[in-house]
Amino acid sequence: MVNYLTTLSAFKSFANIPVANTDNDQILESVIAACSDAIESHTRRKLRIRSYGVGAIQAEYGGGNGSNRYHTKQYPIFSVTTLTIDNTMVFGSTSDISSSDYLLKKEIGTIRLLPASGLTFSEGKDNIKLIYKAGYGVFSIITGENDTIDFTDGVGTVVATLDAGVYTGATLATEIDTQMTAASLPSDTDAFVVTFNERTGIFTITSDGSVLSLLWNNGANLSSSAGFTLGFSSTANDTSVLTYTSDIGVIGIEQDLEQACLILCKRLYKTHDVFGASRFDVETERVEGERAGTTKFNVDPFPPIVTKILTKFVRLV
């Protein structure tokens, strides 16, 4: 599971590295991975959205304290598939709790059993099993704000309107596919394939027709275009081919969290042997004479601004 808190294309933009220069991309990706790991260690959380209890990722097990509240280890909560309370730790389906019996406080990762259910999280060790999806990495589509894609197919210009909601990258790709295909059908028979890469944050839109232009720059619904959300630049339309990719990777995490990762990556990047020693986090600098001088760098694990940003992301419970 990818845990990157920024993307290669976003970091290149932040560090003024030409996109076309791919010579050191492998090193840059290792910098992003290392900084993302360091931030997760500092916050004591898995920050990128992932599904727990699906595939190779283990379900969450926790202990009840006799109250009607349980704090998940990862948050914000995106969705809960199964909540089970079982002191025998068999965790059969008969011990599953109905979704109508609890309330989710998604942002803070709290599950509260409703009074009408008569249930509590009974005291025990690892007697709660939770299969759920949690973490940062979602895209909000809002009606009239970022829900339209103007495009030209083999017959004419149409608009696809996305349903309002909160999506993961994968589910948003499916929604785009569905709505662009539906918008094209009245005038053409084009079908679309839309994918999202969790590591790069890149959306790819492909048509099986003869013409596809994405009108990010002068579409009729520019004020409500989804282009920015999907990482496409509005400086020009995308024309002349049948496959287009985002201009910059987008992963749907909190902007300040990604900014913290970018700053930390830049510090590591600037101290790497390959890229020189152009550190930006100078605390004091003294120059005596023509070339003499003493420079003192911040040697804390994180630059002060990064530590400040991460304060609100540190798990307290």
pLDDT tens digits for range 99-145: 999 999 999 999 999 999 999 999 999 999 999 999 999 999 999 99
Specify whether the CB–CB gap between 134 and 107 falls below 8 A: no
Query: What's the token pair of residue 71?
Result: 């704090």
Residue with tokens 């931030």: 39
Average pLDDT over residues 234-238: 97
Give the N- to C-terminal CA distance of the chain in Å, as an integer.
24
Answer yes or no: is pLDDT of 297 > 50. no
Q: What is the DSSP string of the chain?
A: ----SS-HHHHHHHTT--TT--TTHHHHHHHHHHHHHHHHHHHTS--B-EEETSTTSPPEEE-B-SSSEEE-SS-SEEEEEEEEE-TTS---GGGBPPGGGEEEEGGGTEEEE-GGGT----B-SS-EEEEEEESB-EEEE-TTTS-EEEEE-SS-EEEEEPPPEEEEHHHHHHHHHHHHHHHHTTT----EEEEEETTTTEEEEEESSS--EE-TTT-TTGGGBSTTTTT--SSS-B-SSSEEE-SS------HHHHHHHHHHHHHHHHHSGGG----S-EEEEE--TTT--EEEE--SSS-HHHHHHHGGGS---
Answer yes or no: is pLDDT of 232 > 60. yes
Q: Which residues contact 312 (CB under 8 A, 6 or more apart)?
A: none
pLDDT digits (tens, 9 = 90+) for 251-263: 999 999 999 999 9
Which residues sit opposite 158 in a β-bridge?
A: 151
Answer yes or no: is pLDDT of 291 > 80. no
Q: How confident is the model at residue 227 (pLDDT cuts 50, 70, 90)?
A: very high
Residue with tokens 């959380």: 45
Largest CA-CA distance found in the chain, in angstroms, rounded:
80
Backbone angles phi, psi at 48, to 5 degrees: -75, 145
pLDDT digits (tens, 9 = 90+) for 115-128: 999 999 999 999 99
Q: How confident is the model at residue 295 (pLDDT cuts 50, 70, 90)?
A: very low
* pLDDT reported for residue 273: 56
Look up residue 270 and give its amino acid: K
Residue with tokens 């540190």: 314
Mean pLDDT for the chain?
A: 92
* pLDDT reported for residue 186: 76
Which residues sit opposite 286 in a β-bridge?
A: 294
Portion of the chain with pLDDT greater than 90, in percent: 84
Q: What is the DSSP string of 95-106?
A: GBPPGGGEEEEG
Answer yes or no: is pLDDT of 241 > 60. yes
Average pLDDT over residues 69-94: 97
* pLDDT reported for residue 274: 56
Would you give the distance in Å from CA 169 to the centre of its chain?
8
Answer yes or no: is pLDDT of 222 > 80. yes
Among 69, 76, 19, 71, residue whose Cα is nearest residue 50: 76
Q: How confident is the model at residue 286 (pLDDT cuts 50, 70, 90)?
A: low
pLDDT digits (tens, 9 = 90+) for 46-56: 999 999 999 99
Answer yes or no: is pLDDT of 15 > 80. yes
Size of the chain, expressed as the number of residues it contains: 317
Least confident window among 61-70, 143-152, 212-221, 300-309: 300-309
pLDDT digits (tens, 9 = 90+) for 174-215: 999 999 999 998 767 889 999 999 999 999 999 999 999 999
Portion of the chain with pLDDT greater than 70, in percent: 91
Give, in order, the Cα–Cα distances in Å from 140 to each of 52, 193, 201, 301.
22, 21, 15, 33
